[in-house]
Structure 1
Amino acid sequence: MPSAAPDRNDLSASADRAARCAEAARGLTVPLLLHRNATEFGDLPALTALGADETLTWSALRDRVAHTARGLSVLGLGAGDRMLINMSSRPEHWILDLAAVHLGAIPSTVYATLSPDQLRYLAEHSGAEVVVLEGDAELARWAPILAEVPTIRHVVTVSGQASADGRVVTLAELAATGAAAHRADPGAFEKRWREVPPEAPVTMLYTSGTTGDPKGVVLTHHNVVYQCVLIEDTVSTPDHARSLAYLPLAHIAERMLGIYYPLYRAGHVTICPDQKQLLAALIAVRPISFFGVPRVWEKMVAGVQAQISAADERVRAAFDAASTAALEGYRLRAAGSLVPPALAARIAALDEAVLRPLRTKLGLDELVWAGSGAAPIPVSTLLYLAGLGIDVFEVWGMTETTGTCTINTPAAFRTGSVGRVNPGMELRVVEDGEILVRGPLVCSGYLTAGGDVEPITDAGGWLATGDVGVLDDDGYLTITDRKKELIINSGGKNISPAQIESLLRAHPLIGQAVAIGDRRPFVTALIVLDEEIAPMWARGKGLPDTSIAALATDPLLHAQITAAVDAANAKLSRPEQVKAFRIMPAPWTPESGELTPTLKLRRRIVTDRHAAAIDALYDTPSTP
């Protein structure tokens, strides 16, 4: 299959960089990194909960991990055993996860938004012997599952109550038992973690399940350490840097940037448990690097736009001048050109006077690197951010590739692409446009119901990603769609829904959009209003009812969405243009089911659940 690709599509990074990264990752494991940090950087801060008085140093963190590991060992958790974690982001989450890893066990964080049926599936499929739950509310939710899944021998509750039969134990009890065992025989802990090889599993992450049952992706210590080495080799950030963890730890991006990379660089992580506190957390932490899924950046842009539009004419003029200059420099750098000294000086002066104060209000004034991934981000969003002096570099990858597989960098980027392939990785685009990859970031496989790990690559080691893309002559990859999500209309035309949806979502009033048209005569769209920006806009217009349900039928707002659809259509070919749309009366969320926990569209659920609304668009189409 790979041999069908043109030679120029068979890319690998330079051999010297790949060799350097391979050597840097050789022999390293997560326990070894924690041991190094506690030994060499023991007094430096490692972990803080937002607003908490206590900060765990690397030395204190390792002590807590050792005690918890011994406690889990007393429960019978050992090498190869699985442990599910269903709790919010808090220091105890990190400690329990790392404790399991030190025993050679496989921790797996599950999304808090999963339904009871989904949790039951994961409990049965994983064969987990230990489950960690936050408190009594989670215990009540899991009660039917615990009664039906006998493989779960023990439950650890962080803030709930223990059970009389001993099946449910508190974390405090477990840690106390483990601390006593560790004091009596500290060598047992040290011996156990040293027996964990780089090829052993470090975590299992269940995919979001956009098209079916979730798959348990098994990643190794070498997978995550190699990704850390690549990040360090590619992105220039200082040692012991501040970072903010706010995404769920079931998300590969947060696992890499919130656990493994700070371990590798001995950084200081502050945990923000609630994304509604994100702005306050950014201002408090002022992170050196920040990764945001596209929706985070889109909301940030919408907030700045609202602030600028409400300012007086003098402020707007100053912003326009500074933003125009910053964007001019950004475009030159994106083209690989030098910024002339006079322009660079002008950009610096305007940035200090106008843009840096804006970034300070966002908590991003000390940012060295910013990234986006997990879903396509509109180019218009990237350009607006560049006009704020925030260069956001898009990356591409998947859980199965331990996060990034390709990356844009400050030294080499192309707006709208997802960058070039990482050192040591190989990438091919085959005849039907599907992207194939192989190399040290590809996971060891999927967990089977029987407990084995089944490889997901072909005989040549290639992973078929399911993503469709194109490579330019300089090796930059652009993702055009998911292979199984291409629209083929009734005329046989192949259409990318991702491109249409990205253009629609560029409008601040639109939170989500899904393009419809497979086996249909033309393209239509379901549009979901942004639940923060739309009410804010409505209040500014003096509308009496600012609820999403009311705005969905409001003529003034409908006119705004019509204009947004017209603007998107102007950038699309005739077969791609949206001929009719409907504004949905309620938001789509992971809880409502239309989105995955990582905010990807569940297209099959959308089309099934809203079939009547879709059919109505084709029964009585109205051209916007």
Structure 2
Amino acid sequence: MREFTSPAPAGPPARGGLADSLYDTAERSPGLVQLARRSGSGEEWHEVTASVFRDEVMALAKGLLTRGVRYGDRVALMSRTRYEWTLFDYALWSVGAITVPVYPTASAEQVRWILAETQAVACLVEDEDHAMTVGAVCDALPELTGIWQLDRDCTAAITEDGRGVPDSLVHRQRLGVTAENVATVVYTSGTTGRPKGCLLTHGDLATAADALLDGWGDVFRDTGGPQPSTLLFLPLAHVYGRMVQVAAVRGGFRIGHVAEVSTDSLLPAFASYRPTFLHMVPYVLDKVFHQARRAAEEAGRGELFEQARQVAVEWATAREQRALGRGPGPGPKLRLRHLAYERTVYQRLRAVLGGRVRGMMCGGSSLGRELGLFFTGVGLDLYEGYGLTETSAAITANPAGRQKLGTVGRPVPGATVAIADDGEVWVRGAGVFGGYLNHPHCTAESLFDGWFGTGDLGSLDEDGYLTITGRKKDVIVTSSGKNLAPTALEERVQAHPLVSQCLVVGDDRPYVAALITLDPAALAHWLKTHGRGQLDPWAVLSDEELHAEIQRAVAAANTAVSRAESIRAFRLLPREFDVDQGLLTPSLKLRRSAIVAYYGQDIEELYAP
């Protein structure tokens, strides 16, 4: 088994609970701006200092004690990403309670399963719909004693209940929390079955956050620049978003919240908040890139944008090679060409993200190398990483100043990554969880002598950089016995601007085929530039010119694989896979088995004689 280890962080191991850093910062730097929040739908951000946030957390914690929340109790949080989630997280941790994130899109059955398994004593919900979802199953939840609704100002009501409770009572609870105590039960995304609750301790999250700050602190901080700040739009029910929150609070960074992961919501927020760094997912980067390209084409600057894209990729590639000691870096001609596009293209694209972003970390799913090189070449240093719920988010990331885009980097400080004989990625160290709630058999199957088997396939290069090639359970075996990990092929098809999603099929079939969805905005732009009127979804699927365009995307993807692995047939679908259909996880990963079942008839027709 080949493995690679990164040196442990220089600082001491984490002690105490996650809430301690909040109180320590408020004591040390009371005027430090810790968060910023918006009121209503306005674009004005109101700063919240460390001392003000501590006081809000303390007041809410006292109210939670009055409501009957005790040390070790589990409380569910079902909401989109917003200021109050962070407030409740730290108030609950202040009294030694355990938080249980629930995706706001969860069905009643999923909510019932999570609340019953965790024996949650209360559930915080965002709105009436969420309250009704929980209410529909509460008869089966005898431990549930309260449903608190944010849109009915439960925060103020709970805070009011705590008036008269001494601060010392909260501090007594908080100081009893150790790094070994469970902080949160975070459920896996459920791409391969029913979600399982991962038991993450205060030490797991703190260690993982500190490893991130230790290895990439200079990326976030800029000497002489503004206070590091990030805009948190990732779901806080997902471990990635949660880790960003914990790291920002521990690092003294300013946090803002945005509830919707869509360019319509994010772009105005980026412009008004002006973050200095971002934690991204490939979905958002892809949308930003394609929107910028469409805008350029509509303005008659499509050729200019394409030339600028090519130069950005070349410049970032040369710079990467220099950082790795394998080349001299961008030459004089390339530097001049790059400078020529700085004001006309690159500066404008950076302005879309607020104009102050220095670096971005990207994870959650695979990012195409060319897209990563493009954003780096534009002046937005990109650091791709990899992690799972079971590893408290990132277990690998590209080192600061030594990125190899297309890989997910090296182990974070204190972590080890190994490749088993069958190609599975195994990890240990920095934030790896202790087990699944109520599932000792699954825990025993996943953990062995400190190692966690991720279920992902990958490879380590000579420098210890990890490349993820697919999921063990996703490997397709055709009827002729050919094995194929579909992820890389799907990503190549999705590189075409019209393609939104691609699912490769072919298990026990004579050849490989694909289900493909189209990006609505890109399709509208394509129809307009081709002098075509809008088509209804079903007419789109039978349009010969459009079909030929997607065929070219499939043919280009097939050049990277053998004939036996290539896509021989495909079916365009009338709508994108989405969470509401149950075809995507809340973190926007494909639920392969659900898609295959939902579109079973379409798949059968792909193989009809």
Aligned to 1:270: 256
Asked whether the equivalents of residues 313 and 374 of structure 2 are also in contact (C-alpha less than 8 Å), the reply is: no
Aligned to 2:285: 297
Aligned to 1:74: 66
Tell me whether 1:248 sits opposite 2:235 in the alignment: yes
Q: Distance in 2 between matches of 1:88 and 1:19?
A: 33
Q: Deviations over 1:190-246 (max 9, x none)?
A: 221111111112222111111111111121111111122222222212284110011
How does 1:291-370 map onto structure 2 within 5 Å? 291-312=279-300, 315-316=304-305, 319=308, 322-323=311-312, 326-333=315-322, 335-336=324-325, 337-339=327-329, 342=332, 346=336, 349-350=339-340, 352-363=342-353, 365-370=355-360
1:12 paired residue among 1, 5, 14? 5
2:192 paired residue among 199, 211, 223? 211
Tell me whether 1:595 sits opposite 2:584 in the alignment: yes
Q: Distance in 1 between matches of 2:45 and 2:425?
A: 47
TM-score, structure 1 as length reference = 0.90
Aligned to 2:366: 376
Aligned to 1:229: 210
Which deviates further from its counterpart, 543-552 or 72-81?
543-552
Shift in Å, 1:348: 6.8
Change (3 A) 1:396 1:617: same
Aligned to 1:173: 157
Asked whether the equivalents of residues 276 and 359 of structure 2 are also in contact (C-alpha less than 8 Å), the reply is: yes
Aligned to 1:533: 522
Secondary structure of the residue aligned to 2:528 is helix
Secondary structure of the residue aligned to 1:416 is coil
Q: Distance in 1 between matches of 2:3 and 2:242?
A: 29
Shift in Å, 1:73: 1.3
Q: Distance in 1 between matches of 2:221 and 2:538?
A: 48
**Paired AA for residue 250 in structure 1:** A
Shift in Å, 1:174: 1.1
**Paired AA for residue 266 in structure 1:** G
How does 1:465-476 map onto structure 2 within 5 Å? 465-476=454-465
Asked whether the equivalents of residues 34 and 58 of structure 1 are also in contact (C-alpha less than 8 Å), the reply is: yes
Change (3 A) 1:559 1:215: same
- What 5-or-longer segments of structure 2 have no aligned partner? none
**Paired AA for residue 390 in structure 1:** L
Asked whether the equivalents of residues 317 and 373 of structure 2 are also in contact (C-alpha less than 8 Å), the reply is: no
Query: How many pairs align?
Result: 595
RMSD: 2.4
**Paired AA for residue 233 in structure 1:** D
How does 1:394-473 map onto structure 2 within 5 Å? 394-448=384-438, 458-473=447-462
**Paired AA for residue 614 in structure 1:** I
Shift in Å, 1:360: 3.3
Q: Distance in 2 between matches of 1:547 and 1:519?
A: 34
Which deviates further from its counterpart, 80-89 or 521-530?
80-89
Q: Distance in 2 between matches of 1:462 and 1:275?
A: 34
Asked whether the equivalents of residues 537 and 575 of structure 2 are also in contact (C-alpha less than 8 Å), the reply is: yes
Q: Distance in 2 between matches of 1:273 and 1:525?
A: 33
Change (3 A) 1:590 1:191: same
Q: Distance in 1 between matches of 2:19 and 2:193?
A: 35
Q: Deviations over 1:73-97 (max 9, x none)?
A: 1222122211111122222211111
Shift in Å, 1:317: 7.9
Shift in Å, 1:260: 0.4
1:96 paired residue among 88, 94, 109? 88
Q: Distance in 1 between matches of 2:533 and 2:122?
A: 52
Q: Distance in 2 between matches of 1:321 and 1:466?
A: 36
Change (3 A) 1:351 1:224: farther
Asked whether the equivalents of residues 9 and 211 of structure 2 are also in contact (C-alpha less than 8 Å), the reply is: no
How does 1:14-29 map onto structure 2 within 5 Å? 14=7, 18=8, 20-21=10-11, 23=12, 25-29=13-17
Change (3 A) 1:435 1:321: closer
Identity of matched residues, %: 30
Asked whether the equivalents of residues 350 and 378 of structure 2 are also in contact (C-alpha less than 8 Å), the reply is: no
Secondary structure of the residue aligned to 1:445 is coil
Tell me whether 1:160 sits opposite 2:152 in the alignment: yes
**Paired AA for residue 118 in structure 2:** S
Asked whether the equivalents of residues 80 and 105 of structure 1 are also in contact (C-alpha less than 8 Å), the reply is: yes
Q: Distance in 1 between matches of 2:461 and 2:443?
A: 34
Change (3 A) 1:486 1:83: same
Shift in Å, 1:331: 4.5
Tell me whether 1:615 sits opposite 2:608 in the alignment: no
Asked whether the equivalents of residues 418 and 478 of structure 1 are also in contact (C-alpha less than 8 Å), the reply is: yes
Secondary structure of the residue aligned to 1:54 is strand
1:542 paired residue among 527, 531, 542? 531
How does 1:474-489 map onto structure 2 within 5 Å? 474-489=463-478
Shift in Å, 1:342: 3.8
Change (3 A) 1:52 1:124: farther
Asked whether the equivalents of residues 16 and 179 of structure 2 are also in contact (C-alpha less than 8 Å), the reply is: yes
Which deviates further from its counterpart, 101-110 or 349-358?
349-358
TM-score, structure 2 as length reference = 0.92
